[in-house]
Structure 1
């Protein structure tokens, strides 16, 4: 078992990168999509299924887990891996984004961090950079994220710059609190909103800290895709080429393809699981809205050529009925389908980079979507 955190860049296809992250709990093949297990569960899925679909790593969230069941309790129970029966790598988000978006009556103080009220019961909590790292350590995650402040867009330059500079200083405090943990890693988070020079300053400041990996945060929060890609194209050249790059909270299959083309290695998003619970299926020919009445008597499966039983063995008519009847099985089957599609997409991306033909793969995939026989959502 490897006791180090190591990223190996194995091949490139233009800017697209094929790599591996080696950790004590396993190898993460990149580009990688991390299913989101916010509160210690990938919603509507058994973790055995998630692994069988090809996931090398899942994501947990510090904010939600600190509120319940509580980080100290998770530690007493043997850590998150043991508690949820997932012996493979786990990345934990710092909780900063959820504090900003979910918590009530939050107050930010650079020295003390964030004071906020729980969205669950109104109880008061404090999260400093040091406390965020402490919580992630109690959870036992393999990759831990710095605490940052994510500003909603659009915003004034002065506000974006203030949050970016503070996030840089918080990154230094997080690095100090994290210390040396063999086999584990702490990633910094590039901020700077939609302003190119602020993104560059943030990336330069984080690169100087010589962290194990770097995330790009504060994107896919409502801005046009073109803005997101512009920010990636100015940010990624500044980050060390020998370190993994993680785009947080992204996204659609098209977002993933275009971000891989920019040089991103890791992704997470609630989209495939949330969409599944709301009756939306992703397939290689496009999206299918199972709430649509046109599927009521359609005996075709979502994709007769798929290796996933949820995709191949159940008719659209049955899935439509389950969705309209609000049956739990609808969310289970469609989430299974969606996560299979996402992992299959990542597998195809990796194979195409290995063969030096990623641009062709992306064009072929987009062409199949354009010619798909499916109804618009």
Structure 2
């Protein structure tokens, strides 16, 4: 497993944080640092047709080693990390033979990774964990996925007796800001179907995800001297607060699970004259998703009507944009691709955890671009923050699943 550890660490120490405010692709220049490294590494392990385009999308081929016709399959991961938490100067810590107790990430700042709070830790007692030092995220989302794909391809190259068809791998920028699939050339990739290696705990297999939209809501106001503000001042921050209070109670990320949708206020910045509220809208059910978007418009109109005479124009401006849709609609007609992954896990004595994604992956958008693309576990936990960790054994199991899927696709009779 040391090979996996070394490869993973070589990726996570490279800062690849993306930036939603940027208009370029990739959104940050530093993503090129890992992208270029991956190109050279893919070439060095023996992959063919290794390419990187002007937007940093990487593709490579492992040619088939069988004579009979086999579907071309792909494996995809993203190399950017979330802007929600710093990805600079990542200093991974190795915890061998985890004893099931508290892990001190940073003694100076008293940052503790504890199973009392993160109960999933107890699943990995006796295993080797890779954690942060408490000051950055780790980047297992999704550098664990990249590690697993590269390692699996290397294993297949070094073990030619394992039969497989043509395999394509793809690595993308900017997934964390919702743009990972925007410039992905599905035709060039040339696969019948693919899998993103972008899930969390061992066994996760997902082909349902949220329908997603983002909303930017601008509130206008009028600033006057507070001592003489009676019937004159309009405080845009208070109007924003009224808007938030109109959203359904109990429908936030921290109060929902499973198929339950939510509204998530994630940024709020304002002054008396102007306040900008940003939120995301999520729901697995398409009809409920549309009603959630309609509610944003309904609340905005209600407040605009209230202030119509006093302000003279719309005081609330709501912009709602769809981000991605539930891939279930595109995957169900080819459900056998999920069944193959499930069979692979079962043959490896891994219990499949088939459940809806409470989020999205590149596969959501790719499925709607003509490339059905379920999601498979990459092994990490507590993404996007300082408590992120990944068990090395989980990454090894993900490697095994990739290899087994390739084998089953080339020889479906062994199912």
User: What TM-score comes out, normalization by structure 2 length?
Assistant: 0.25
> Whose Rg is larger?
2
